[in-house]
Amino acid sequence: MPTQSPTEENYLKAIYAISNRQDGEEVSTNALAEMTATRAASVTDMLKRLADKGLIHYRRYQGVRLTDEGERRALRIIRRHRLWEVFLVEKLGFGWDEVHDMAEDLEHVRSDELVARLDTFLGNPQFDPHGDPIPTPTGQMPRTGYRPLADLNPGDEATMMGVLDHSTAFLQHLAQCGLVLGCPVKVSEINAFDRSMRVTIDAHPALFISYDVAKNLLMK
Ligand SMILES: [Zn+2]
């Protein structure tokens, strides 16, 4: 089985993430250029290479889709990423706001044996520190049924299960608001102008959450 470079792995992951976000629709070159912060021309080169390896379906001007093998590879990378995040938080004591960038490097260490032992060592965790499900060793992504806080209506109550943005800045902002995984959130009011929300959580009786933040919180 031919292997792929870290850059190629990042493209597979990016295609998987964008396609998931848009319900399996073909991913545009522009969306990929934006997510990987590269010029459209370099994206096109990379897509040709991935298509030659049988990892994506790609036709110019029509966007891309992962092949079954491409999706399996993407899920394997995501699995490694999320297991490393668990390791960094649970075993090395890092905060959940510190681990994403480290896991971006560690996910490219490709030994299956290492990943299998890491998984056993961690007790086969089901979720990473950000609440994301960890794909199974056979490459299945567990369904969570979470929905963004931004989709809730006034009067709705839900529990915070995950976050879509793993950046340090975002996670520190949540900590300042007292928003942590597992906290119950009740929507009291939604501003018709900018869709910001007034919510109540245990520690803060009235907290205002911007639409940008609400889009990135996953609830159940
Ligand atoms: Zn991460």
At 60, list the tokens. Answer: 């110019």
CA distances from 71 to 76, 140, 159, 215 (A): 9, 10, 30, 25
**Number of domains the chain is built from:** 3
CA of 60 from ligand 1 middle (Å) equals 31
Contact 72, 142 (CB under 8 A): no
Residue 1 belongs to some domain of the structure: no
Q: Are residues 162 and 205 in the same domain?
A: yes
At 78, list the tokens. Answer: 């995501």
Q: Are residues 52 and 88 in the same domain?
A: no
Q: Are residues 120 and 88 in the same domain?
A: yes
CA of 48 from ligand 1 middle (Å) equals 27
CA of 49 from ligand 1 middle (Å) equals 26
CA of 59 from ligand 1 middle (Å) equals 30
Report the candidate in 26, 13, 29 with the shortest Cα–Cα distance to residue 65. 26
CA of 191 from ligand 1 middle (Å) equals 31
CA of 100 from ligand 1 middle (Å) equals 4
Residue 85 belongs to some domain of the structure: yes
CA of 128 from ligand 1 middle (Å) equals 8
C-alpha span between 101 and 188 (Å, rounded): 35
User: Other C-beta atoms within 10 Å of 72: how many?
Assistant: 16
CA of 91 from ligand 1 middle (Å) equals 16
- Please tell me the predicted confidence (pLDDT) of residue 24: 80
- Domain boundaries, position 159: 147-219
Q: Are residues 166 and 208 in the same domain?
A: yes
pLDDT tens-digit profile, the chain (220 residues):
556 788 999 999 999 999 988 888 899 999 999 998 888 888 999 999 999 999 999 988 888 999 999 999 999 999 999 999 999 999 999 999 999 999 999 999 989 999 999 999 999 999 999 999 999 999 899 999 999 999 999 999 999 999 999 899 999 999 888 899 999 999 999 999 999 999 998 766 789 999 999 999 999 9
- Please tell me the predicted confidence (pLDDT) of residue 203: 60
Domain boundary among 96, 128, 143: 143
CA of 173 from ligand 1 middle (Å) equals 17
C-alpha span between 77 and 115 (Å, rounded): 10
CA of 76 from ligand 1 middle (Å) equals 14
Domain boundary among 125, 143, 161: 143
